[in-house]
């Protein structure tokens, strides 16, 4: 099977398998199980965009809205060749569990465009984004479905989306619609600290894990897959703890430096090198296949889904995996890692800092407030630690790993809502 195909298929299968296992373990009500196994809405749009050379290209965009029992759908938009309906379904379901576990008043959605953004100019990306927003129309909205950045989408893309969405509304109403997306630049209603929130959350949950396990993170070696928003910021916060980054992998290749890579210097280098890490002075480029088997204490996958599978889990040397990415580990790999005694801090807990800060941005916009960085970080930490402690408690109660416990905490909250409210009619 082609790698791209395997990755897409794997994510949807993984999320369903994880859900089934959690539903069995917690003895979930069968009716609620049926509801949560399906997605509420699946929107596919085809839209034309004029390229710089005058040709028209037809793009395909997706938005899957999995569940909104707890509040509006929430989740990122990704621009990547692997985006399709199954990838969007899988990622939307993970968002439902993540927002529930984090204690937010949101459901789960996800989507994006099947494309390689590197092939397009800035002007083309702006037109693609604006036309996609227009095609989605009122399928998104500040009280209905609120997108955010994900792989290959950033604050600039969110600013174009907000502007386009607002432009379609009556002038007297436009200011009510700025929170249709989160992850905007600070000058356009964005939140101080939203940029670093996911990476900060990854390191916060890792610190909570280390405290729980009585492990000192100082001088520990860590390796990171993906050096985009999540990978960069997680590395920066790990450096602050005194841990040592020895290898990084991104779409351009894998670099290794035994005596440590400075995340801040690497970040500066990538800005001059088209976002790529390869060629970083002092580091050697090694074969991509060697990455997961490198000697280290901590592994932070922060790129795409289905990267740690039965094919490579056995070579992992890390004692703990902090899942910055969504769905980086498939269920077969989870089983192997368990027998090897490797702890996994699951994605829906580990990378929830991003959506939690998105919630703060949404509140800030909705209430006409401007929050300070210190308040954001303090509130973020509190929410994440609260979720972490609930997961630990349930993992002890049900005698499960952290992933199953995280699923159970998330699903219990949604189950309670359905029990209280019932199902119309």
- Looking at the Cβ atoms of 15 and 26, the one nearer to ligand NAD is 15
Residue with tokens 């897409």: 8
Q: How far is CA 49 from CA 61, 114, 127, 273, 419, in A?
A: 12, 14, 7, 28, 46
Closest alpha carbon to 155 in 313, 303, 354, 416: 354
Provide the 10 A C-beta neighbour count for residue 258: 12
Write the DSSP string, 72-127: SEEEEEEESTT-SHHHHHHHHHHHHHHHHHTT-S--EEEEEESS-GGGS-HHHHHH
Q: How many residues bind ligand NAD (CB under 6 A)?
A: 23
85-101 and 3-26 helices, crossing angle to 10°: 40
For helices 229-240 and 263-272, give the axis angle rounded to 10 degrees: 150
Among 10, 108, 117, 324, binds ligand NAD (CB under 6 A): 324
Instruction: Out of 164, 198, 246, 356, point to the residue binding ligand NAD (CB under 6 A).
Output: 198
Task: Note whether 107 binds ligand NAD by CB under 6 A.
Answer: no
104: Cα within 13 Å, side-chain hemisphere = 32
Choose the binding region for ligand NAD from 9-17, 214-222, 247-255, 338-346 (rule: CB under 6 A).
Answer: 247-255
SS3 for 44?
A: strand
Asked whether position 410 contacts ligand NAD by CB under 6 A, the answer is no
Considering only residues 298, 304, 320, 322, which one is a binding residue for ligand NAD as defined by CB under 6 A?
304
Answer yes or no whether residue 249 interacts with ligand NAD by CB under 6 A.
yes
Pick 109 or 231: Cβ nearer ligand NAD: 231
Which one of the listed residues 8, 110, 184, 244 is annotated catalytic? 110
Site membership for ligand NAD, residue 64 (CB under 6 A): no
Cβ at position 147, least distance to ligand NAD in Å: 12
User: Which residue among 83, 93, 325, 406 contacts ligand NAD (CB under 6 A)?
Assistant: 325
Q: Does 110 qualify as catalytic in the annotation? A: yes
Of 72 and 183, which CB lies nearer to ligand NAD in the complex structure? Answer: 183
Contacts with ligand NAD by CB under 6 A lie at 149-152, 198, 225-231, 249-251, 302-304, 324-326, 351, 354
The residues that are catalytic are 110
């Amino acid at each position: 099977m082609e790698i791209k195909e395997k990755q897409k298929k794997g994510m949807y299968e993984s999320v369903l398998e994880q859900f089934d296992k959690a539903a069995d373990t917690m003895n979930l009500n069968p009716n609620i199980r049926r509801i949560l196994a399906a997605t509420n809405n699946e929107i596919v749009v085809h839209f034309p965009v004029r390229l710089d050379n005058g040709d028209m290209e037809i793009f395909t965009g997706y938005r899957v809205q999995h569940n909104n029992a707890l509040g509006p759908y929430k989740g990122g938009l990704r621009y990547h060749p692997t985006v399709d309906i199954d990838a969007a379904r899988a990622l939307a379901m993970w968002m439902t569990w993540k927002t529930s576990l984090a204690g937010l008043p949101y459901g789960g959605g996800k989507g994006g465009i099947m494309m390689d953004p590197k092939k397009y100019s800035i002007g083309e990306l702006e037109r693609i984004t604006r036309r996609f927003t227009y095609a989605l129309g009122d399928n998104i909205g500040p009280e209905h479905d609120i997108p955010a950045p994900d792989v290959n989408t950033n604050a600039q893309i969110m600013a174009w989306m907000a502007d386009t969405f607002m432009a379609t509304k009556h002038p007297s109403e436009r200011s009510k619609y700025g929170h249709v997306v989160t992850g905007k630049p600070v000058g356009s209603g964005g939140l101080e600290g939203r940029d670093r929130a996911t990476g900060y959350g990854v390191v916060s949950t890792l610190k909570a894990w280390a405290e729980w396990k009585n492990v000192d993170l100082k001088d520990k070696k860590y390796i990171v897959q993906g050096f985009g928003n999540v990978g960069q910021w997680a590395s920066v916060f790990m450096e602050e703890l005194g841990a040592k980054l020895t290898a990084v992998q991104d779409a351009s290749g894998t670099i290794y430096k035994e005596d440590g890579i400075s995340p801040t210097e690497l970040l500066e280098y990538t800005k001059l090198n088209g976002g790529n890490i390869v060629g970083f002075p002092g580091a050697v480029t090694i074969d991509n296949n060697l990455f997961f088997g490198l000697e280290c204490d901590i592994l932070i996958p922060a790129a795409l889904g289905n990267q740690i599978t039965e094919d490579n889990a056995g070579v992992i040397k890390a004692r703990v995996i902090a899942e910055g990415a969504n769905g980086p580990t498939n269920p077969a790999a989870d089983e192997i890692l368990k027998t090897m005694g490797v702890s996994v801090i699951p994605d829906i807990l580990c990378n929830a800092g991003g959506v939690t800060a998105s919630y703060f941005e949404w509140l800030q916009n909705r209430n006409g407030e401007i929050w300070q960085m210190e308040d954001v970080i303090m509130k973020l930490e509190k929410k994440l630690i609260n979720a972490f402690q609930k997961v630990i408690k349930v993992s002890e109660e049900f005698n499960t790993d952290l992933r199953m416990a995280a699923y159970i905490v998330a699903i219990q909250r949604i189950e309670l809502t359905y029990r209280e409210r019932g199902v119309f009619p």
